[in-house]
Amino acid sequence: MKKNIKNGFSLGEMTVTVAVVAFLAVVLLPMLKGMQPNQEQIMFKKAYSLAERIIYEMINDEDMYPEPNDPSMANFFGNTESVTIKGETYDGDTKFCKLFASKLNRSSAVDCSTHSFSDNTNPVGTLSASDGVVWILPITNFASDTTAYNIYIDVNGNKKPNCDYDANKCPKPDRFNIKVYQDGRVTVDGVMEKEYLNRVEISRDAKNVTF
């Protein structure tokens, strides 16, 4: 005699299968959720890398920042003497701002007059980039070789929370601060900036140094 071949699942087997799937969902979903990328972190790291590259290019471009003839003059970004590139003149305390902005893919006009974001409001900056990041570039003559000058960014534009890191009020910020020195070093010192990045310095005479 042929044995009867059982087709399909019994009610008990179906119940066990559903229970196992439900258990796996309960266990795995929180883990998968925790593995989802932090969009603000991704955008900040992208903006930071872009700032590093642009600053490295600028500090090593003799057309933008030539070596000063007068040794008493400030060097690197401190050299705010007038230069003309593609018919556009750059000089004074807006030289860095306008040159940096010229290297970004922009979706807005450039206004080198804004110094900081207002808390919890839509960001108004130097410019908006095509990827949605709003930049505030420093307006300075980089007179000091020991002072860090600030580049502020809001990585998601008008989207909330529009705030800097605060453990209680803004644990997941979308605004960050990048610091640049006269000689082209780029650093961060904020809590969340440090968490998102390795410390990196760049200068005209050295390759990137990771701390």
Give the list of residues 6+ apart from residue 1 with CB closer than 8 angstroms, or none: none
**What are the 10-residue block averages of pLDDT along the chain, 211 residues in total?**
56 71 64 64 95 97 89 88 95 97 97 90 95 97 96 96 94 96 96 80 45 39
* pLDDT of res. 138: 97
Give the integer Cα–Cα distance in Å for 136 and 155.
11
Tell me which amino acid residue 181 is: Y
Q: What is the pLDDT of residues 107-155, one digit of tens each?
A: 999 999 988 898 889 999 999 999 999 999 999 999 999 999 999 999 9
pTM of the full predicted structure?
A: 0.78
Give the integer Cα–Cα distance in Å for 77 and 89.
16
Beta bridge partners of 153: 135, 176
